[in-house]
């Protein structure tokens, strides 16, 4: 079974940047990422900008991201083979 990777906040910002998300704002250590679809739909993710995220936090961010991006596309970024 694949294991969840230990990711940093900066790595998540780069990963979601590949899917069209841009840094919208930051308050403290939390970064808001946003992308606007062609139909005007606004999609927002919040990522803590920590050196290393707890696995539960990374899993929760993955679940949030799967509302907008398919699990197949995200799998290689979040899990080891």
Q: Which structural domains are found in the chain, ordered by start?
A: 9-78 (3.30.920.30)
Residues ≥6 apart with Cβ < 8 Å to 7? 15, 52, 53, 58, 78
With a pLDDT cut of 70, the percent of the chain lying above it is 100
Give the tens place of pLDDT for each residue, 10-41.
999 999 999 999 999 999 999 999 999 999 99
* Residue 1: per-residue pLDDT: 76
- Rounded CA-CA distance 32/35 in Å is 10
Give the tens place of pLDDT for each residue, 46-62.
999 999 999 999 999 99
Three-class DSSP category at 66: coil
Contact 6, 79 (CB under 8 A): no
- Rounded CA-CA distance 76/80 in Å is 7
* Residue 2: per-residue pLDDT: 87
Q: Model-level pTM?
A: 0.92
* Residue 43: per-residue pLDDT: 97
């Amino acid at each position: 079974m694949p294991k969840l990777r230990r990711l940093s906040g900066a790595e998540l910002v780069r990963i979601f940047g590949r899917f069209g998300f841009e840094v919208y704002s930051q308050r403290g250590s939390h970064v808001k990422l946003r992308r606007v679809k062609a139909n005007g739909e606004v999609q927002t993710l919040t990522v803590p900008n920590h050196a290393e995220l707890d696995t539960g936090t990374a899993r929760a961010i993955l679940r949030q991201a799967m509302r907008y991006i398919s699990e197949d596309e995200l799998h290689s970024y979040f899990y080891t083979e």
